[in-house]
Chains A and B, each alone.
Chain A
Amino acid sequence: MNQSIEGVQEGLFDRLPLGLYLTAANGQIIDANSAFSNLLGISSPEMLLGHNIQEFLVDQKKILSWGAMNELGGEIRHRVYLRARGGKRVSVLERLVPLREQEGFQGYMGLIVDSELYQEAKPELALTKLSGVPPEQDDLLEFAFQDLCEVVGIEEAALVLADSESSLPYIEVACGSWRDYSGELLSSAEKVTEETGLCLQLTHEQQLLGALLVKDGLLGEEVKVRHLYQMSEVLLALVDWTDRDVYVDHLEQEFNHGVTFTDHLLNNIPVSLVVLDRRLRIVALNSNFASKMAKAKGDMLHKEIDEVFPPALLQYTHLDNRVREAFHKGNPVNGGKLTYRAPGLTSRVYYYRLVPLKIKGEVQRVVLLMDDITDQERLGEEVRQMERHLASLVECASDMVISMDLTGRITTWNTASEEITGYRSGQVLGKALTSLCSVEHRPQLERMLSALAEGDKVPNVEIDLQCGDDRDPVPISWSAAPIQDGEGSVTSIVAVGRDLTERKRLEAELIRSAKMASLGVMAGGIAHELRNPLSIVLAAAQLIQQYDDPEIHNQGLEKICRATKRASSTVEALLKFARGGGGQMARVDVEETLDDTLSLVNNEIRLHKVVVQRDFESGIPCIKGNAALLQQVFTNLILNACKAMPKGGKLTLATRLFKDNQVEVSFKDTGRGIPEENLLRIFDPFFTTMPVGEGTGLGLAIAYTIIEQHQGHIDVDSEEGEGTNFRVRLPVESSN
């Protein structure tokens, strides 16, 4: 038995609530404790020595019975009245135990229990006093304990002693079925401390006897530890084990199966769970935590938090301080994020919380809950990256990218929009886009937006926007789409607008340069067309001068007039061709424009031995357009046809009404045709099959642009060796 405990017990003898005395056979007191002397109102037990116990007994009958007992030598329990100092009567329970040696009856040990004390139900006090039984009198302690248990009403009980240093607790004394285990050491992994109390599994020779928890309530009600006292360094527990068998069955099950349902649950939830005590030691943990830390449970149990987590992490998260705070304040702490990379594993991100566990109003444990949010974090990060990426795309775009609500009010306005229009985003957010568009385009934009709000697709449109500064309205090509949510209902509208200013300028430049190129081609023809009538004029004038012949005069003057008019009309056609570009859209008679064109390129046609067949439908309506630009297109198409027929051929110019609202002009030649692989490219700028220096490759590209500007359409059919047919369709004036 532990020496230190013995020594302490000796010192505790006087504190017992149980009065103890020893007498010789004649009743003379040979030893007593202070509880007994106190009961008699005598300050020191030493003062009792030498007195006879009978001096303090009130009831003479008891003295008689004392005598009888002396004869019998058996144990006596009875209620007696003691006469205390000053004549006060004290009611006590007395148990007289005969002390026998080999020589026979030696005397009594009297155990006096202050019955008032028990009537007041102060077992704690009684037990405290009990622990003071002198060690050399183990029997006495056992008697006293059993007495006490009887008085308190416990049938199965053990007095467990343990020091707080290191040794295992042991059963000092027990009653009932525990009696057999008196003096046994109890196996336990737990160190006994003031804070944890006793937490033991009582086993003896591999048999589970039960579990003890000194601080009752901690693990539920299965264990009843009535009392726990600390006296100096000794812990004293009075254990009530009345229903031991039931608990043992239950505990054995757990013991054998290793886990309880709760354990099972805790170990399988996808949350890391760690229970920490006040010293920040891990007193429990689940499997999830162990696997995340890549350590065995046993390697972490009872370790302090800084032995498990790296110091850098604690410094970064202040986890230890937060646990202390939870202990201190008793409120749950939502800690936040924590990144931890266990050796050999990838870095994981956790969201941790601290939940204090209160027992009897005091925080005894703090549970650290860690949710692994790595996947969510990664998804979140991906989403954020994508958002940033998209946002930067929108911001970096050179086109306007704007979004609107269903009523057309602007909700986002990117940098390009600010640059193109001069309106800052703060100036336009919440405003209707229609308020920024030029007045004549407003109805068109309104129609487009309402179609979009219905979820309809809309074709690209060209709508001018007013500028926030003094500039002219900017021509914008709009491509817009409805944005739908997962259920298909339209939530907003997004529109991408391209500034056409530069494109229009380039187009105009292209048209001009192509015109110059055409003029170069036509120069010879123009010379021919002008010089022929000039020759006639000059020759006729000279004939008139030289000959006084009325017939010659008449004929000559007539020829001069005719030739002059002819030259003039050639010049006019040329002017029409050269002047175009900046012209306004106006009523244009397509057939007249074709004839003007023919008069300009007549020479080229003749040069190529091309026969022109005019196949004009009657009653073709006028279109809305720019005659000079159309003439440029027609010139280009006719010259191309001539080039395609180097050995001559037939060019059929036909007009007809197409679908009631378009005028179709076709240019059908009998030339060499266009190879199929080139058909798709002929409208591309700079595409040419001509030798370098002979064709700009812009003619058809410009023709395409001009027809587009007229909201018309140009297409081509061709068969190699058979010929090519270009069709130009232009909307009639009324429908435009």
Chain B
Amino acid sequence: MGTEGRVGDTDKNRAAYKVLVVDDEPDICWAIENALGLHGYTVTSVSSAEEGLGLATVACYDLAFVDAKLPSMDGVEVARHIHNLYPQVSVVLMSAYYYSRDKTVSEHLDEGILAGFLAKPFELKKILELADRVLRGNEDEDSSTSANSSG
């Protein structure tokens, strides 16, 4: 489900990065695909943890947006798998359930399993900022923390 979009200068650099979205809400996937794809990122969406983990083995992703509640597996669990198997992939947890200061979220941020947290509903520019910061800045905790704030 790749999305080709209009690509600018900055976008050309972004095109080198492959982003995976795992959410059972297809409309959320649609929104993220557009929000990042229109700015040059190569975005792939899947609706289940299994599909996501499967894709991760065959393709090299740089960033994964994983929903916290998936039908068969917890998003945090998916993040842990990805972190263990492919440490180069940065995982951002999305949730309508958790909020940024939740114990579960902060613990996994501290452990480095999560690169960031995105509370639903979210501003599109936050997604872009988060992606840019995680992929370009390589800043760990500070950027993650700032990216956690939700509207």
Pair B122/A532 contact, Cβ less than 8 Å = no
Q: Is A524's CB within 8 Å of the partner chain B?
A: yes
Q: Is B71 an interface residue (CB 8 A)?
A: yes
How far does the Cβ of B26 sit from chain A's closest Cβ, in whole Å?
9
Given contacts A532-B96, A552-B34, A606-B69, contact A559 B27 (CB under 8 A): yes
Task: Report the separation of the CA atoms of residues A542 and B72 in the bound assembly, to the nearest whole angstrom.
Answer: 31
Question: How far in angstroms is the closest Cβ of chain B from A607?
Answer: 7
Shortest 4 CB-CB contacts between residues of A and residues of B: A531-B96, A539-B31, A535-B121, A535-B120
Number of interface residues of A (CB under 8 A): 28
- Name the B residues within 8 Å of A154 (CB-CB): none
Q: How far is the CB of B149 from chain A (nearest CB, A)?
A: 16
Q: Which residue of B lies closest to A524 (CB)?
A: B97
A532 contact from B25, B72, B73, B125, Cβ within 8 A: B25
Q: Assess whether B69 is in contact with A543, with CB atoms less than 8 Å apart.
A: no
Contact flags (1/0) for B56-78 with A, using CB distance below 8 Å? 00000000000001011100000
Known: A527-B97, A536-B28. A603 touches B121 (CB 8 A): no
- Distance in Å from the Cβ of B99 to the closest Cβ of chain A? 9
Given contacts A543-B34, A562-B27, 5 further A-B contacts (CB under 8 A): A536-B27, A539-B31, A540-B27, A603-B69, A609-B71
* B123: Cβ under 8 A from any A Cβ: yes
Interchain CB contact (< 8 A) of A607 among B25, B69, B96, B124: B69
Bound Cα distance A1, B18 (Å):
164
Contact partners of A538 in chain B: CB under 8 A? 121-123
CA distance A725 to B69 in the complex (A): 28
Q: How many A-B residue pairs have CB under 8 A?
A: 72
Q: Is the CB of B72 within 8 A of A609?
A: yes
Please determine whether A534 and B121 come into contact, CB atoms closer than 8 angstroms: yes
| Pair A535/B124 contact, Cβ less than 8 Å | no
Q: Are B31 and A536 in contact (CB under 8 A)?
A: yes
* Interface residue? B53 (CB, 8 A): no
Q: Are A527 and B96 in contact (CB under 8 A)?
A: yes
Which single residue of chain B is at the shortest CB-CB distance from A605?
B71
Which chain B positions have C-beta within 8 A of A536? Answer: 25, 27-28, 31, 121
Evaluate contact between A539 and B97: CB separation under 8 angstroms: no
Contact A532 B71 (CB under 8 A): no
Check A535/B69 contact, CB under 8 A, given A546-B124, A547-B38, A552-B34: no
Please tell me if A730 contacts chain B, counting CB pairs below 8 Å: no
Residues on A with beta carbons closer than 8 Å to the beta carbon of B96: 527-532, 534-535
Out of A529, A530, A563, name the residue touching B27 (CB < 8 Å).
Answer: A563
Asked if A606 meets B121 with Cβ closer than 8 Å, knowing A535-B28, A563-B27, the reply is no
26 A–B contacts from the bound complex (CB under 8 Å): A528-B97, A531-B96, A531-B97, A532-B25, A532-B28, A532-B96, A534-B96, A534-B121, A535-B31, A535-B120, A536-B25, A538-B121, A539-B32, A539-B124, A540-B27, A542-B123, A543-B34, A543-B35, A546-B124, A559-B27, A562-B27, A603-B97, A606-B69, A607-B69, A609-B72, A648-B72
Bound Cα distance A527, B38 (Å) = 29
CB distance from B4 to the nearest CB of A (A): 13
A555–B122 CA distance with the chains assembled, in angstroms:
18
Q: In this assembly, does B30 line the interface, its C-beta being within 8 Å of a C-beta of chain A? A: yes
In angstroms, how far is the closest chain A Cβ from the Cβ of B63?
18
| A605: min CB distance to chain B, Å | 10
Tell me if A732 counts as interface (CB < 8 A to partner B).
no
Closest residue to B97 on the A side, CB-wise? A528
With known contacts A527-B96, A528-B96, A559-B27, A537–B121 Cβ distance under 8 A: yes
- Which of under 10, 10 to 19, 20 to 34, or 35 or more describes the interface residues of B? 20 to 34
Chain B residue numbers with a CB within 8 Å of A529 are: 96
Q: Tell me which residues across on chain A come within 8 A of B72, comparing CB atoms.
A: 609, 648
User: Per a CB cutoff under 8 Å, which of A539, A540, A606 touches B122?
Assistant: A539
A543/B124 contact (C-beta < 8 A), A527-B97, A606-B71 known: yes
Instruction: Find out whether the CB atom of A559 lies under 8 angstroms from the CB atom of B30.
Output: yes
Q: Which of A538, A539, A540 has the most CB of B within 10 A?
A: A539
Give 1 or 0 for each of B106-140: 1 = CB within 8 Å of chain A CB: 00000000000000111111000000000000000
Residue of B nearest to A648 (CB): B72
Q: Quick one: which of A531, A540, A542, A546 contacts B120, CB cutoff 8 A?
A: A531
Most buried by B among A527, A530, A532, A547: A532
Q: How far is the CB of A75 from chain B (nearest CB, A)?
A: 157
Q: Once bound together, how far apart are the Cα atoms of A607 and B123, in whole Å?
A: 26
A575–B65 CA distance with the chains assembled, in angstroms: 33
Query: B122 contacts which chain A residues (CB < 8 A)?
Result: 535, 538-539
Cα(A121)–Cα(B121), bound, Å: 149
The answer to whether B27 and A542 have CB atoms under 8 Å apart is no
Cβ-defined partner of A539 (8 Å) among B35, B69, B71: B35
Q: Which of B25, B72, B120 has the most CB of A within 10 A?
A: B120
What separation, in Å, do the CA atoms of A501 and B108 have in the docked complex?
A: 54
Chain B residues near A562 (CB-CB < 8 A): 27
| Interface 1/0 per residue, A500-535 and B, CB below 8 Å | 000000000000000000000000100111111011
Nearest A residue (CB) for B70: A606
Q: How far is the CA of A559 from the CA of B72 in the complex (A)?
A: 25
Chain A residue nearest to B125 (CB atoms) is A542
How far does the alpha carbon of A427 sit from the alpha carbon of B65 in the complex, in Å?
79
Pick the most buried of B27, B31, B34, B124: most chain A CB atoms within 10 A of its CB: B27
How far apart sit A563 and B124, CA to CA, in the bound complex (Å)?
Answer: 17
Which B residues touch A555, using CB under 8 A? 30
Task: Verify B31–A540 contact, CB threshold 8 A.
Answer: yes
Q: How far is the CA of A530 from the CA of B95 in the complex (A)?
A: 12
Write the chain A residue with the least CB distance to B120: A535
A537 to chain B, nearest CB (A): 7
